Amino acid sequence: MKGESLKFTIKHEIEGRMRIHLHQEMMSYQDANTLFYYLRIMKTVTSVKVYDRTADASIEYLGDRASIITALLNFNYGKVEVPEIINETSGRELNAIYQEKLIIKSILRYAGKLYVPFPIRAVYTWLKGMRYVYKGLQCLVRGKLEVPVLDAVAIGVSLLRNDPDTASSIMYLLGVGELLEEWTHKKSVDDLARSMTLNIGKVWLQREDQEVLVPTSEIKTGDIVLVHMGNVIPFDGIVAHGEAMINQASLTGESVPVKKNTGRYVYAGTVIEEGELAIEVKEISGSTRFEKIVTMIEESEKLKSSVEGKAEHLADRLVPYTLLGAGLTYLLTGNMMKALSVLLVDFSCALKLAMPISVLSAIREASIYNIQVKGGKYLEAVADATTIVFDKTGTLTKATPTVAKVISFCEKEPEELLRIAACLEEHFPHSMAKAVVRAASEKNLEHEEMHSKVDYIVAHGISSFIDSKKVLIGSYHFIFEDESCTMKPEYQEQFDQLPSEYSLLYLSIENELAAVICIEDPLREEAEAVINSIRKLGIKVLQSVMEPPLPERLRILQ
């Protein structure tokens, strides 16, 4: 029953993995998708497979086994809201459809041989075979000797020899091959779409003077959706009004927020760290920047690698030799069946079909490791690469800013200045503010509410009063240009020598510079090993010239 808690039995279990059987008569595709989604979003679960036909589930997890058992006991189909795209791209219905097609195709073939009279089967085979013959003739008319010509010759010769059973077998095998190719292609694309889904079920829609929470499926192009601080932007669109700092790391790898205001374009999958926006939707489901990548993969003809092209040309170039081999076989043996067998064992078709499927499978495999590949030609380009250019942020570094040091420009100690900065920054969730608060916490610096009302200026900084003294923290532009703060002359040399490899936050008290907080993006622990491994492959590693200077730890890798 959908309103009841889940009942299950653990069939098999080892450390970090268990297989369960659900006590229910039948599991629908939606039931399987709901359980899959419920388990997959758990932080401790690394992999889930749900088998709808047997009502089984295989779960791989990290950490505490008891948390998985508790989650399963608390599961209820009626209480889990699954994003529509999960059901659309799960592949369960797709797999069932193509499995049924293959089964029906096989049953019809063998049932026809058993129960349909030979004359009727012969007429049907002739009519069906004409389609292949017509395709072969079309190639010849265009002056091309390609794979369809082989199919036409093999089927045509069998029909002319009054051997409809052989012709039917050839068409059956060709049909199975086409079904398998189509199935593999669609499944690969659906797997990729599912791996890239944003998993946003509902959004705030602006209707006149009200905000209404509606499913994302109801949103249309031109609607105004409201996105608040800390939330993911669900659609591509233009800012109708509002101002915010957007974290675009999901698209660019860059953790430093970007300012967006009225008229600027924003992308699905990015996150509002500060402020809030009203966005006029320009691209709905199927057209967002993420999903356009999937569309490009579907349009594989435009993105084929040269290997795929070579495989197709090679397959077509083999056709004359296959026909020649069949002709020579007939001349030497006088046996038409042996000549026909040369056409039947020709591998050019397999060569032509296998290469695109291999490339798509590689793209799907890459997506499992969060690597999005736009097409086969890019995989091939990576194989031929001799130099890799890293943009550093989010690749060699963690994309999680931290405080490297605090430089004092007054009589106060750096720790006291950090405490003051954290007191202001704790009210705001953007990445650099979190870095300041985290640094103060690590040093056990208490920063109680010792300030007055905090005024926040998006993309500039924070203004408040502490002990009746005006305190500002923010960018160089905000401190020195907007607020006209000054600096004591004796600190000028120290200011000129500020390290350029850091992002800098400026703190002023009573309109005089008090401190500069240096923010760095820490190097990943595995970065050195990865770069050394790349170098062992004979590939050069360069840093993008658009990046700020490398941190000292990273320079050792150059």
Per-residue pLDDT tens digits for 484-522: 999 999 999 999 999 888 889 999 999 999 999 999 888
Amino acid at 136: G
Residue in this structure with the two tokens 């001799």, named with its chain if needed: 386
- The rounded mean pLDDT for the chain is 79
Q: Quick one: tokens of 41? A: 């979003």
Q: Looking at the predicted structure, is the pLDDT value of residue 307 above 70? A: no
Helix (H) or strand (E) holding 3: none
DSSP assignment of 471-524 equals EEEE-HIIIIIIS--B--GGGHHHHHT--TTSEEEEEEETTEEEEEEEEE-PBP
Helix (H) or strand (E) holding 98: helix 92-115
**Among 193, 172, 194, which residue's Cα sits nearest to residue 37?**
194
**Among 324, 272, 287, which residue's Cα sits nearest to residue 459?**
272
Domains annotated for the chain, with CATH where assigned, are 8-82 (3.30.70.100), 95-194+306-355 (no CATH), 202-285 (2.70.150.10), 402-520 (3.40.1110.10)
Residue 354 exposed, middle or buried by CB count within 10 Å (0-12, 13-18, 19+): middle
Work out the end-to-end distance of the chain between its first and last CA atoms, rounded to an integer number of angstroms: 62
User: What pTM did the predictor assign?
Assistant: 0.53
Measured CA to CA in angstroms, residue 18 lies from 7, 60, 318, 446 at distances of: 15, 7, 50, 45
Residue 306, C-beta contacts closer than 8 angstroms, at least 6 positions apart = 377, 380
Residue in this structure with the two tokens 């996105």, named with its chain if needed: 227
Report the share of the chain in percent with pLDDT over 90. Answer: 14
Residue 359, C-beta contacts closer than 8 angstroms, at least 6 positions apart = 300, 304, 305, 307, 308, 376, 379
The string of pLDDT tens digits covering residues 452-493 is 567 776 667 888 888 888 899 988 888 998 889 999 999 999
Q: Quick one: tokens of 195? A: 């791996």
**3-class SS string, 117-133:** CHHHHHHHHHHHHHHHH
Q: Give the mean pLDDT of 403-410.
A: 92
The answer to whether 360 touches 184, Cβ cutoff 8 Å, is yes
The string of pLDDT tens digits covering residues 359-397 is 767 776 776 666 767 667 777 778 788 888 876 566 777
Backbone angles phi, psi at 290, to 5 degrees: -60, -50
**Among 112, 175, 203, 142, which residue's Cα sits nearest to residue 353?**
175
pLDDT score, position 413: 92
Q: Give the mean pLDDT of 277-303.
A: 63
Q: How far apart are CA 298 and CA 301, in angstroms?
A: 8
Q: How far apart are CA 511 and CA 472, in angstroms?
A: 8
pLDDT score, position 556: 38
Q: How far apart are CA 151 and CA 140, in angstroms?
A: 13
Q: How many other C-beta atoms lie within 10 A of the C-beta of residue 188?
A: 24
* 304 SS3 class: coil
Q: Looking at the predicted structure, is the pLDDT value of residue 409 above 80? A: yes
Least confident of 61-65, 175-179, 303-307, 399-403: 303-307
Strands (E), 318-468: 387-390, 402-408, 455-457, 461-466
Measured CA to CA in angstroms, residue 533 lies from 382, 527, 530, 541 at distances of: 16, 10, 5, 11
Q: Give the mean pLDDT of 48-56.
A: 90
Q: Looking at the predicted structure, is the pLDDT value of residue 301 above 50? A: no
**3-class SS string, 151-168:** HHHHHHHHHHCCCHHHHH
Q: Looking at the predicted structure, is the pLDDT value of residue 531 above 60? A: yes
Chain centre distance of CA 279: 23
Q: Give the mean pLDDT of 278-306.
A: 61
pLDDT score, position 211: 78
